[in-house]
Chains A and B, each alone.
Chain A
Amino acid sequence: MTRAELLRKLAAQLDWPDLQESTRLDDDARWDSVAQLDILMLLQRDHAMSVSAQELQESATMADVLDLVLANES
């Protein structure tokens, strides 16, 4: 899965059309525990992948999230 594909998939899951790699998460109200749960569920359901909830919660930007997921993929 490429970074661009993953970003599109996460944006669709979160219903967040303007989501970009540069999007800051730590000051966006949309980045709440439900959004984080949505990502964890998507990764488990579609990719049988489990990432660290703590690292996900500590991600400052969407680029950090993509790094975290792709590191777990490899």
Chain B
Amino acid sequence: MRTAVIQGIDHYLPEERLTNAELSALYPGWTADKILEKTGILERRIAADTECASDLAVRAADRLLERLDVDRSRIDLLVFCTQSPDHFLPTTACLIQERLGLGTNVAAFDYNLGCSAFPYGLAIVRGLIDAGIASTALLLMADTYSKFIHPLDKSVRTLFGDAASAVLITAEERAAPSIGPFVLGTDGTGAGNLIVPAGAMRHPLATADLAEKTDKSDNTRTAANLFMNGPAIFEFTVKRVPALIRDVVAAAEISLDDVDLVILHQASEMLLATLQGSLRIPDEKFVRHYSRCGNTVSSTIPIALQSVIDAGRVARGDVLLVAGFGVGYSWGANLIRWEPNA
């Protein structure tokens, strides 16, 4: 059967590093050790003032295409996920198409999701490839949340880093689908718990929105900054994600024991430790990769996946489970049978 197959993954991290020592100097009572204990993160990468999501994405895509020696004229689909686009319009994928030197036959569009971006992106690309609409796809994800974050809001500044990732997916003949099944879901009642309230059409930016307010946890932000209700996000995650994992293995008619590696959205050490414990996943099957880049939102799963591939922890035929969850609320999970051509 004709089906979508992942051929390779790469990523790009911006040059600037933000360390726990720098953050602890800003937040009284927060030592570098405490930040590490709570987040599991040693440093985050921060995009330069002039560096946007498209810049990071082009770097990641160039790395991937050069490493795999891909003929760019073969690419006929470019799907880009970001919540920090270069402009309201045009869609950032159009800018990336031109900068990557892709043909004008490329179908290119953005989608707006955060931590669930990877499973959703795979579902979109697999759908278009399996339907015969595309044959060689670039799935790109990039976010620069740092541009939304107030420097004195430790609830988010200690967690998030900027990054881009790139995945090449092609149409191949396989005995069974290589990507899937999928379980996707949404609960918009949680929208206010991870949000940039002002700056778009529902709440256009006004002078009053730039007034700084300090909350009870001593975090300062404006209405144009990222707000996260950490305890509410935690509650959502520990209730939703175990069921999501059970649902996707059930949809595949396998058990979690049949999965070789589990790669969850790399949110924070507190969340990952809790989920690993409640799902009883052994350390050797549970991937952690965030200490040197932080929570990079849409790119956490592909970056973590690349890390285990590069480390030789993924063998041909292995079954990988990926699951993303967060802003929206939005969630998704799927299986990947690792079987690239080379």
Contact = CB atoms under 8 A, between A and B. Distances in A.
A56 B231 contact: yes
Contact of B235 (A31, A32, A34, A52): A52
B218 interface: yes
A45 B238 CA distance: 10
Given A33-B155, A33-B217, A34-B217, A44 B278 contact: yes
Interface in A34-61: 34, 36-37, 40-41, 44-45, 48, 50-54, 56-57
B274 interface: yes
A54 B192 CA distance: 13
A37 B239 CA distance: 14
A11 to B, nearest CB: 18
Given A44-B278, A45-B273, A45-B277, A57 B231 contact: yes
B236 to A, nearest CB: 8
Interface in B237-281: 238-239, 270, 273-274, 277-278
Contact of A48 (B219, B231, B273, B278): B278
Interface in B204-250: 216-219, 229-232, 234-235, 238-239
A53 B232 contact: yes
B232 A41 contact: no
A33 B231 contact: yes
Interface residues of B, number: 19
A29 interface: yes
The binding surface of chain B is classed by DSSP as: helix
A73 to B, nearest CB: 16
B238 A53 contact: no
A41 B217 contact: no
Contacts of A56: 231
Give the most central of A29, A40, A56: most B CB within 10 Å.
Answer: A40
Given A44-B278, A45-B273, A45-B277, A33 B230 contact: yes
Interface of B: 38, 155, 216-219, 229-232, 234-235, 238-239, 270, 273-274, 277-278
Given A32-B216, A36-B231, 14 more contacts: A29-B218, A32-B217, A33-B230, A33-B231, A36-B230, A37-B231, A37-B234, A37-B270, A40-B238, A44-B238, A45-B274, A50-B235, A53-B231, A53-B234
26 contacts: A29-B216, A31-B216, A32-B216, A32-B217, A33-B217, A33-B219, A33-B231, A34-B155, A34-B217, A34-B230, A36-B230, A36-B231, A37-B230, A37-B270, A40-B234, A40-B238, A41-B273, A44-B238, A44-B278, A45-B274, A45-B277, A50-B238, A50-B239, A53-B232, A53-B235, A54-B232
